[in-house]
Amino acid sequence: MKRSSDDRSFRIGTGAFAALVLLIVLGIAFELTRQSALSIAKFGLKFWTTSTWDPVSGDFGALPFIWGTLYSSILALLLATPIALGIAIFISELSPRVLRQPLAYLTELLAAIPSIVYGLWGVFVLVPIVRKLELATPAALKKIPLFNGPPLGVGMLAAALILAVMVIPFTSSVAREILKNVPSTQREAAYALGATRWEAIKVAIGFGKSGIIGAVMLGFGRALGETMAVTMVIGNSPQVSASLFKPQYTMAAVIANEFTEAADELYLHALIEIGLLLFIITVGVNLLSRMLIWSTKRRAVAPTIVTPIVAEEVAA
């Protein structure tokens, strides 16, 4: 009898700590909502659709920051996805066995470098390179809104480039795991039908498609919340523009830059409301990506269980 009561208190005792983790997440959601109440009450939905950001007169609209965050993250995704998938395919399908571990380790090192170091490198190395690129852009191209803007170096292009590098390891490591989980029967079937290596890889990618989309979204979630490196290279100027060369601003960057300067309560609440939206978006993106990855992994397990039964039937 004593033993079962001991087991129960162990279960409840450790469970209390587990519940604490749950409470932290709920606490973040609650606290962010509570601390942005003033701004939510005063501006309502207008907060998300207007562009004035005037702390002096107390008028706040977050559109430029939302635009900057989405635009920089999507650009980063466009740059990072082909490279990350290429890495995942190379390591899991093409690379010689001895190179597999070292290459996986090296690409994952990109995730270990702190954001501030990326930022430092961005300011002193990447931005001057981007500036040279911008100066070398022919005048005819500059007429296109995409390339319109002063050759400052800092701006959307630098931010997107640095974000892309930071996102690559996350997407590629998850995509690699998805590919590893694709049953080898899929590839074997393709080869048996006379497929080339690339065609067999395409079959494997097709099988893990939703998981790979999940991997890309995981990278997207990372890009949305990235703060320091972007703050240091994007130029911090709130404007809604499609230009790659113009300095812009992101949600995370405005929080980082202005939080300690927010003298009055409404200003602070407006900044925290931006944090709240960032929280909601990143949690949503992460949930969706986990569901996609999880469903693919589950599907990947199923056929290997089914196969022996089919084989027996054929034998019978």
Partner 1 sequence: MTANLRRRKWFSRFFEILCGLAVVIALIPLAMILFYVIKEGAGALNWDFFTKMPKPVGESGGGMANAIVGTLILIGIAALFAVPVGGICGIHLAEYPGTKFSSVVRFAADVLNGVPSIVVGIFAYGILVLPVKRFSAIAGGVALGLLMVPIVVRTTEELIRLVPGGLREGALALGATRSRAVFGVILPAALPGILTGILVALARVAGETAPLLFTAFNNRFWSTSLTQPIASLTVQVFTYAISPYDDWHRQAWAGAFLLVMIILTLSIAARFAVRRLERMNRS
Site residues for partner 1, window 160-199 (CB under 8 A)? Answer: 165, 168, 172, 196-199
To partner 1, the closest distance from the beta carbon of 114 in angstroms equals 3
Which stretch, 109-117, 138-146, 237-245, 300-308, contacts partner 1 (CB under 8 A)?
Answer: 109-117
96 lies in the site for partner 1, by CB under 8 A:
no
Alpha helices in 122-227 (DSSP H): 127-136, 139-142, 156-181, 184-192, 197-207, 209-225
Kindly determine how many residues on this chain lie close enough to bind partner 1 according to the rule CB under 8 A.
Answer: 83
- Residues 249-273 as b or e (16 or more Cβ within 10 Å = b): bbbbbbbbebeeebeeebbbbbbbb
**Identified binder of partner 1 from the candidate list 62, 76, 77, 84, rule CB under 8 A:** 84
Give the total residue count for the chain.
316
Per CB under 8 A, the list member of 1, 22, 56, 98 interacting with partner 1 is 22
Answer for which of 42, 48, 55, 86 binds partner 1 (CB under 8 A) is: 86
CB of 303 to partner 1, least distance (A): 24
* Residue 89 sits in the site that holds partner 1 (CB under 8 A): yes
Q: Taking CB under 8 A as the rule, does residue 114 contact partner 1?
A: yes
Interface with partner 1 (CB under 8 A), residue from 60, 286, 296, 300: 286
Regarding 91 and contact with partner 1 (CB under 8 A), the answer is: yes
Which residue, 2 or 143, has its beta carbon nearer to partner 1?
Answer: 2
Amino acid found at 47: F
Q: Residues 281, 225, 126, CA angle at the centre, nearest 5°?
A: 140
Q: Which amino acid is at 316?
A: A
Residue of 37, 78, 125, 193 that binds partner 1 (CB under 8 A): 125
Task: Name the residue nearer to partner 1 (CB basis): 120 or 240.
Answer: 120
What is the nearest approach in angstroms of partner 1 to the Cβ of residue 197?
5
Residue with tokens 């100027």, as numbered in its chain: 237
Q: Tokens representing 36? A: 């942005």
- Both tokens of residue 8? 């129960």
Distance of alpha carbon 61 from alpha carbon 54, whole angstroms: 9
Residue 19 binds to partner 1 (criterion: CB under 8 A): yes
* 9, 82, 204, 242 from 69: Cα distances, Å: 47, 21, 33, 12
Query: Are 77 and 216 contacting, i.e. CB atoms less than 8 angstroms apart?
Result: yes
Asked if 297 touches partner 1 (CB under 8 A), the answer is no
* Rg (the chain; Cα; Å): 24
Identify the residue whose tokens are 């494997």: 204
